[in-house]
Amino acid sequence: MFRDSFFTIENDAESSFVWLGNTDRREFDTIPVVTCLHGLFGGISNFDGIAERIHNQFPVFIPEIPFCHAREKRIVSIREMSDWVIARMDVHGLRETIVVGNSLGGHIALDLAIRYPNRISSLVLTGSSGLHEHLHGASMPKRFDREYTRSIANKTFTNYAITESELDQIQSVFEDRNRLMNMLRVARSARKYDLRHRISEITQPVQLIWGMDDIITPPSVGEEFLVRLPQAELHLIEHCGHSPMLEQAEKFATLLKTFLFKNFPKVNTL
């Protein structure tokens, strides 16, 4: 959802995705791939600003997660989504990756690091669920009208002016009963999948990037992640809500590159 990506979106049998960078998989041992996972109402284009700023140094893979797709076999649980991401990695020859996850995408990233530790080299979480969150769609409002759609945008963003076209895309989900019901199942399933008692198992380096004005997963959530994760660092961005990679792309990319170069110093010499 949201606007169309300004990168070329490719398609295979299972999903749409963006791939940026050298396609020679032999280089992945020295140049790590950055996999970006969007949230429930997000899409590939949410990471355009980040991909634009890092893909010349780090290959970027952005799959479109089928949260709201009406299919015979619906993917509704965090565990199913994690398995889906691993399957996509296998298809694209990614043995190991860095995962950047926003909101529900961060929840998936956490589960990946716990269940597939050998496939995830490090995490970057921003506005991540998994501890405390108010997930859009977790409860049924009386009306899924334009006013409700706009209220979601107002809660999500501080420094990003959502367009009428982007609102139309969200509204289209609400007007499609199959997609709407699948979205509600995803949100409710995620709320039940609390990871607080397993987060300490994550030993990979973790960068936490949080918007100081985030009201969905407030900065206190980032601070709790910092306490619970053995190898974590926390950065707060002013004038920013629930999607720092979209609202403050320049600052986010600067923090991300610093983290990547620190943990993968060989890239600086290539």
pLDDT tens for 82-138 read 999 999 999 988 999 999 999 999 999 999 999 999 999 999 999 999 986 555 544
> What distance in Å separates the CA atoms of residue 249 and residue 39, rounded to the nearest whole number?
16
Q: What is the pLDDT of residue 70?
A: 46
142, pLDDT greater than 70? no
pLDDT range class, residue 78, cuts 50, 70, 90: very high
Comparison of pLDDT for 67 and 241, the residue scoring more = 241
How large is the average pLDDT for residues 229-242?
A: 96
On the question of pLDDT at 172 being above 80, the answer is no
Has residue 51 got a pLDDT over 60? Answer: yes
What pLDDT is attached to residue 269? 46
Map residue 204 onto helix, strand or coil: coil
| pTM listed for this prediction | 0.89
Question: What number is the average pLDDT over the span 254-263?
Answer: 94
**Which residue, 126, 129, 165, 132, is CA-closest to 149?**
165
Mean pLDDT, the chain, integer: 85
Close Cβ partners of 235 (under 8 Å, ≥ 6 residues apart): 207, 208, 209, 210, 255
Query: What CATH number has the domain spanning 10-269?
Result: 3.40.50.1820
pLDDT more than 70, % of the chain:
86
Whose structure tokens read 């921003």? 126
- Candidates 24, 23, 93, 32; CA nearest to 57 is 32
C-alpha to C-alpha distance for 43 and 47, rounded to whole angstroms? 8
Is pLDDT of 72 > 50? Answer: no
Binned at pLDDT 50, 70 and 90, residue 228 comes out as very high
Phi, psi (degrees; rounded to nearest 5) at 242: -85, -10
Indicate the pairing of strand 97-102 with strand 60-63.
unpaired
Domain boundaries, the chain: 10-269
Report the range of poorest mean pLDDT among 62-76, 194-208, 240-254.
Answer: 62-76
Instruction: Please give the pLDDT value at position 270.
Output: 46
Beta strands in the chain (DSSP E): 10-11, 16-20, 34-37, 60-63, 97-102, 120-126, 206-211, 232-237
Q: For residue range 18-32, what is the model confidence (pLDDT) as tens digits?
A: 999 865 554 555 678
Name which residue leads in pLDDT, 163 or 60: 60
